[in-house]
Amino acid sequence: MTRNGELHPRPALDPRLYWRPAERHDLDAWAGLIARTAAVEQPVWFERQADLEQILESKNNPVAANTIIGFDPEGVARAYGRITKNRDGDKANGSGCVDPQWQGSGIGTGLLGWMEQRTKDRFAQDAGGAGTAGTGGAGNAGDAAGARAAVPRPRLRLYAEQQHQHQAALFAASGYGIVRYYNEMHRPLNQAVPETALDPGLELVTFGPELHEPVRLAHNAAFRDHWGSEPRDQEGWGFVVNDPQARPDLSGVVLDRSTGTVAGYQLATHDAEAALTRGFREGYTELLGVRREFRGRGIAQALLADAMRRFAAAGMDVASLDVDSENPTGALALYLKMGYVAVNRSMAWDKELQPAAP
């Protein structure tokens, strides 16, 4: 512990700000910082207070250890960062922002340093907790060396939209490299919906609570061959189905009639506040997947067409989604065939880190 009960030493963080982990009473200040930054940077999506409330509830990534907020002398939040990591994951994901009035003064570089150190600590802690390096348990030196060799090298991943060149410059200067591109795609809903048909042995139903767990398992199976994907546990899936913007009424699931197995799913969200700034109402496909053994039967096309009809009936103007530009299932070609067009691009940036000192 450090002065005032802080959990980590923070020598790299800007001394003009007082830094500490996020707490529940910070919600207004935290959300206000993100909103001020978004008003200037105009991202496609940003965290709002309801999202931050979910973050505060995380047991896998407790905010006391995995968030940091910097306050100016008047108590105004000016910067924040956080990381998330699955215990068995091969990367941590970082996010955060700096108040536009304070950008360009080195605060972002300090935040990246904090995220990197926290990532190294998490990898070391997770390896120790799994009974590998650093456990201090019984075993010979050869066993310990083998365990250490099996621990993945710490890696931090950051995401940024192509329009945010100041972030790209910071990431590049800090040793990060682009490892993936993603396309945001839109499909106007004033056009005719493509005709699709499912096999008689399949049925399409609306997503509901009774399907939460079956769809989680189907998602983990469908995405096990996707780059960068990691299985969703109960907590991670809870963030999906309980997302403040989740719209189960606009979401569909395809079931195998004979077994009840989830063959595919389309989970939708709608950001009502974004419609005020973007000038259109958007039905967003958050997740779309088809189990490997059911692929090639037109399920994804049927789910997308169903989503378009649901979105249009709910008064939406556009159907949208994001796609990995190198998706191995040919998703980009499918979306183009269904009338989607790319409107924005974002990138994933990675940096491999030196392991934490033992």
For the record, the structure tokens of 340 come out as 């989607």
Percent of the chain with pLDDT over 90: 84
Residue 3's alpha-carbon distances to 10, 19, 23, in angstroms, are 11, 11, 17
Cα dihedral 230, 236, 242, 246 in deg (nearest 10): -20
pLDDT of residue 139: 41
Residue scoring higher pLDDT (318 or 4): 318
CA-based R_g, the chain, Å: 22
Residue 325 pLDDT grade (very low, low, confident, very high; cuts 50, 70, 90): confident
Per-residue pLDDT, averaged over 181-200, amounts to 96
- Per-residue pLDDT at 255 exceeds 60: yes
d(CA 54, CA 238): 9
DSSP states of 101-159? GGTTSSHHHHHHHHHHHHHHHHHHHHHHHTTSTT---S--HHHHHHHHHHSPPPEEEEE
pLDDT of residue 358: 67
Buried b (16+ CB within 10 A) or exposed e, 265-303: bbbbbbbeebbeeeeebbbbbbbbbbbeebeebbbbbbb
- Per-residue pLDDT at 135 exceeds 60: no
pLDDT of residue 132: 38
Per-residue pLDDT, averaged over 213-242, amounts to 95
Region of residue 296 (left: phi > 0; alpha: psi -120 to 50; beta: else): left
Percent of the chain with pLDDT over 70: 89
Least confident of 7-16, 41-50, 245-254, 332-341: 7-16
- Per-residue pLDDT at 213 exceeds 80: yes
pLDDT of residue 158: 98
Amino acid at 287: L
Residue scoring higher pLDDT (194 or 277): 194
pLDDT of residue 277: 85
Q: How many helices (H) and strands (E) does the chain have?
A: 11, 12
Least confident of 8-17, 31-40, 176-185: 8-17
Per-residue pLDDT, averaged over 26-44, amounts to 97
- Per-residue pLDDT at 143 exceeds 60: no
* Token pair 């499918």: residue: 334
- Per-residue pLDDT at 97 exceeds 50: yes
Amino acid at 311: F
d(CA 303, CA 263): 11
- Per-residue pLDDT at 147 exceeds 50: no
Residue 329 pLDDT grade (very low, low, confident, very high; cuts 50, 70, 90): low
- Per-residue pLDDT at 229 exceeds 60: yes
Per-residue pLDDT, averaged over 174-186, amounts to 96
Residue 116's alpha-carbon distances to 144, 181, 269, 277, 335, in angstroms, are 25, 22, 31, 34, 36
pLDDT of residue 10: 43
Spell out where the chain has E strands. Answer: 18-20, 67-71, 77-84, 92-98, 155-161, 177-188, 202-206, 252-256, 262-269, 282-290, 318-324, 341-352
Per-residue pLDDT, averaged over 37-41, amounts to 97
